[in-house]
Structure 1
Amino acid sequence: MLLITRDKYLNDLIARMGNGMVKVITGPRRCGKTFLLFDLFEAHLRAQGVDNDHIIEIALDDMSYAEYRNPVQLFEYLKSRITSRTEQYYVLLDEVQYAISDEELRGEEPPRLYEVLNGLLHMRNVDVYVTGSNSKMLSTDVMTQFRGRGDEVRVRPLSFAEFMQVYDGDVQHGWAEYVVFGGMPLTLSMHTDEQKSRYLENLFTETYLKDIVARNKLRKSQELDDLTNVLASSIGALTNPNRIKATFDSVLHSKISTRTIVQYIDYLEDAFVIEEARRYDVKGRKYIGSPKKYYFEDIGLRNARLGFRQVEQTHIMENIVYNELRMRGYNVDVGIVEQRGTRNGESYRKYLEVDFVANLGSQRYYIQSAYQLPTEEKIAQEKASLLGVDDSFKKIVLVRDVVKPTRDDHGILTMSVYDFLLNPNSLEA
């Protein structure tokens, strides 16, 4: 069995032990949340001397625990296991959305699961950890319900560095594999491209899309399927619901409404299929509304959705860089830099794009995902927007080739995407 340590997420949990909050582990289905909680974190607890009776684990998506999907029965069971008021207990609940009814998911009733978790919070000797695959229910609703007593740990598919922990080959061959099949952990145990392709295609259709259809009571799924394909085809491109509607009208001959498109995009985000990156006016220091960019949380699932027919290296590398920055905890926007000048006696104004403006606390980085810089013209093109940024934060160009990190006369750093992805401190170098 391949063991991927996932140290970042394990350390995130360890750092939150005993903080008096519900630790909410969110992320897409099959990305490794259960393994993190029931294997890696449990192993840590046992290494700290915690015995089995004080670790209460329930996998609510397992039919063996179906009776505990009823919040009342779940709470009664947990109380029966917590037999001391002084000894420390750890409650680990996996896929807690199974303990929420359809009426609660639609907002027609207050979720009773929160009453269970709130009751556990009042037991000072109980430390609570839950996982789930619905961002609205967990990331938003839990934080609202507990008013500062919910603490989210966001888990993602394998990063390139995690993937390379167990990949049997050099970094270039690893990259070639990763840009096609992505970072869903189970693919690493498969031996043929056919197995991986079929697994990812089925996972997207039979798990992700069916979950969205069932959870949101959609009567037909064709428009959701079509929208997913449109978004998968346009990673790295600015778009908005009106543009998507125009595509539906002209190409798909569908009369889907803009409102429905917005709603379906929300459903895909709630299921951790996609994330949005907003545009940010660097000089004006303000956000610009529509259009936005959408990136897939796992590039393998994105490729599978398109039948592995659109594996464009430039856009895929951009998506992978975005995911890496988000995994490291950065808020990531698409930067816009206004450029003004005079040409042939006439003034002009144009906007240049910085692929990513990454912010974390007081840190900020401007990053271009360039793939290749074969000519001086291409180098100038990729650096133009960075040269238009007039602050002192670090500016970086990432290329796919193996290159030694170098800075030009303007202080712009060019480095290999491999160095960026494999070194967690690469941005600080």
Structure 2
Amino acid sequence: MIELINSIRKYNFWDANPVDTGYRRTAYTDKIGQCIGNKLIKVLVGQRRAGKSYILRQIASKLISQGVKSENILYINKEYMELITLRSVIELEELYKAYLQELKPEGKVYLFIDEIQYIEGWERFVNSHSQDFAEPCELFISGSNSNLLSGELATLLSGRYVKFEVFPFSYTEYCGITEQEVGINSYKKYLQSGALPELFNLSGDEMKQNYISSIKDTVMLRDIVSRYKVKDIKLLDNLFVYLVNSAANIVSVTNIINFFASKKRKTNYETLSTYITYLENSFLVHRAERYNIKGKDTISGNCKFYLNDLSYRNYLYSGYGYGLGYLLENAVYLSLRRAGYQVYVGTIKDAEVDFVAIKGDRKLYLQVTLQLTEEQTVEREYRSLKLIDDNFDKYVVSMDDYKIPTNEGIEHLSAWNLDKVLGS
């Protein structure tokens, strides 16, 4: 194991190694930083290649800048070739002991384990070391499956972890990394590209297309097919294409069954429901349930699905003819989720409200439309919000490059100013 420790030296901050920490994502590091200094396990979840590894390294770097010795930080990424043989909790424990023997850290150890779900029995290691009073250890772990902390594990670690969901770059981060000014021109480019961090190191649409295709295939094969023993891989892929095509539209499993039937493809409710759950668990898509605004409860059945990143539509399935309005609604959904809101599709009387966003005791209602240049559009978009008789904030978000006056308490927002309002 000492040899293995030496092989991962280049990935750690020991010996003043220059470690790539990427573009600073302060929205995450500041939020996580508020939870450092206790025995809570910090858990980062999110789609593969959304930037979890960079955020972990940024936290480690920040700790060092605050006076933590580099030898007190161990960073392990299960996807590195050097750690391909690291498969069980016993081997993980041996690696940790070898690190303690080789580096001889004094005081608290800060342990970062990336893509921890590939280590069988990892939860026993985390549970044990997070509560070790003799050799204090603060743990930061990441995974690419939303069920990382489900079932028995959630019970085992109940009250002893805090979870952060990592999304691709926000519009604010996009402007930062591309050095563009906030406004309609850069926001259009944002909608028509993608926000996975590695995209910004690539040049040319063909290279970006190949990268996004490889990401999708890797998520499908490693995080879904291999994990869940999926038999009909073609159906899984076709289902994802269908959800990309239907994003921002109300759909049901019955709709999907009928669609595949029209293509002479037989399937059933249970299989499709299960496959949709797999796509959600791997963070490729997100479900927005319908919400009864008057009754203040969710409505089972039909719902909407949104993509975790617009690059899947823009680089892989751009031939469906959807315009900016489709992309804008998806982008607004992601902005709300990044800001920590639970997001629903609202219904009131015979009208639909694009988003009901809830965080703690705060609630927002939002309508999303491309432009408010026609009187009919203004009447339609404001009508559903006017039906809501509570005092929570109501917004119409559009791509109009001017401020529309407040209408019966309903504020207008240009889409590129949404992050500022949400504080994300």
Match of 1:105 in 2: none
Deviation digits for residues 262-311 of structure 1 (CA, Å, limit 9, x no counterpart):
00001001101111111111112222111011111111123334155544
Deviation digits for residues 171-203 of structure 1 (CA, Å, limit 9, x no counterpart):
333223221222101111222122212211222
1:14 has 2:25 as partner: no
Post-superposition offset of 1:79: 3.2
1:300 has 2:311 as partner: yes
Alignment partner of 1:329: what SS?
coil
Match of 2:23 in 1: 4
Post-superposition offset of 1:73: 1.3
Match of 1:275 in 2: 286
Counterparts of 1:67-146 in structure 2, within 5 Å, are 67-82=85-100, 87-100=107-120, 112-124=121-133, 125-138=136-149, 142-146=153-157
Which of 68, 71, 76 is the matching residue for 1:58? 76
Deviates more, 1:47-56 or 1:169-178: 169-178
Alignment partner of 1:407: what SS?
coil
The percent identity for this pair of structures is 30
Post-superposition offset of 1:377: 1.2
Structure 1 gap segments, 5+ residues each: 101-111, 339-350
2: distance between equivalents of 1:181 and 1:201?
14
Alignment partner of 1:291: what SS?
strand
> Measured at CA, do residues 318 and 307 of structure 1 come closer, stay the same or move farther in structure 2, by a change above 3 Å?
closer
Q: Indicate conservation of the 8 Å contact 2:248/2:306, yes or no.
A: yes
Report the aligned-residue RMSD. Answer: 2.0
1:167 has 2:178 as partner: yes
Q: Indicate conservation of the 8 Å contact 1:9/1:36, yes or no.
A: yes
Post-superposition offset of 1:65: 1.5
Q: What is the letter of the counterpart of residue 130 of structure 2?
A: L
2: distance between equivalents of 1:301 and 1:203?
10
Paired positions, count:
400
Q: What is the letter of the counterpart of residue 111 of structure 2?
A: V
Q: Indicate conservation of the 8 Å contact 2:253/2:269, yes or no.
A: yes
1:232 has 2:244 as partner: yes
1:47 has 2:65 as partner: yes
Post-superposition offset of 1:140: 5.8
Post-superposition offset of 1:256: 0.9
> Measured at CA, do residues 161 and 54 of structure 1 come closer, stay the same or move farther in structure 2, by a change above 3 Å?
same
Post-superposition offset of 1:156: 0.6
Match of 1:416 in 2: 414
Task: Please give the TM-score of this superposition, normalised by the length of structure 2.
Answer: 0.89
> Measured at CA, do residues 47 and 186 of structure 1 come closer, stay the same or move farther in structure 2, by a change above 3 Å?
same
1: distance between equivalents of 2:410 and 2:293?
17
Post-superposition offset of 1:164: 0.7
Q: What is the letter of the counterpart of residue 412 of structure 1?
A: I
Which of 276, 296, 301 is the matching residue for 1:265? 276
Alignment partner of 1:229: what SS?
helix
> Measured at CA, do residues 402 and 139 of structure 1 come closer, stay the same or move farther in structure 2, by a change above 3 Å?
farther
> Measured at CA, do residues 257 and 132 of structure 1 come closer, stay the same or move farther in structure 2, by a change above 3 Å?
same
Q: Indicate conservation of the 8 Å contact 2:219/2:282, yes or no.
A: no
Match of 1:356 in 2: 355
Deviation digits for residues 207-250 of structure 1 (CA, Å, limit 9, x no counterpart):
44453111111223110011111111111111111111111111
> Measured at CA, do residues 273 and 71 of structure 1 come closer, stay the same or move farther in structure 2, by a change above 3 Å?
same
Q: Indicate conservation of the 8 Å contact 1:318/1:369, yes or no.
A: yes
Deviation digits for residues 99-132 of structure 1 (CA, Å, limit 9, x no counterpart):
03xxxxxxxxxxx211111111221311001011
Alignment partner of 1:67: what SS?
coil
Alignment partner of 1:49: what SS?
coil
Counterparts of 1:330-349 in structure 2, within 5 Å, are 330-338=341-349
Deviates more, 1:186-195 or 1:226-235: 186-195
Q: What is the letter of the counterpart of residue 419 of structure 2?
A: L
Match of 1:198 in 2: 210
> Measured at CA, do residues 280 and 131 of structure 1 come closer, stay the same or move farther in structure 2, by a change above 3 Å?
same
1: distance between equivalents of 2:188 and 2:392?
32
Match of 2:405 in 1: 406
Alignment partner of 1:114: what SS?
helix
Post-superposition offset of 1:142: 4.0
Structure 2 gap segments, 5+ residues each: 1-19
> Measured at CA, do residues 91 and 75 of structure 1 come closer, stay the same or move farther in structure 2, by a change above 3 Å?
same
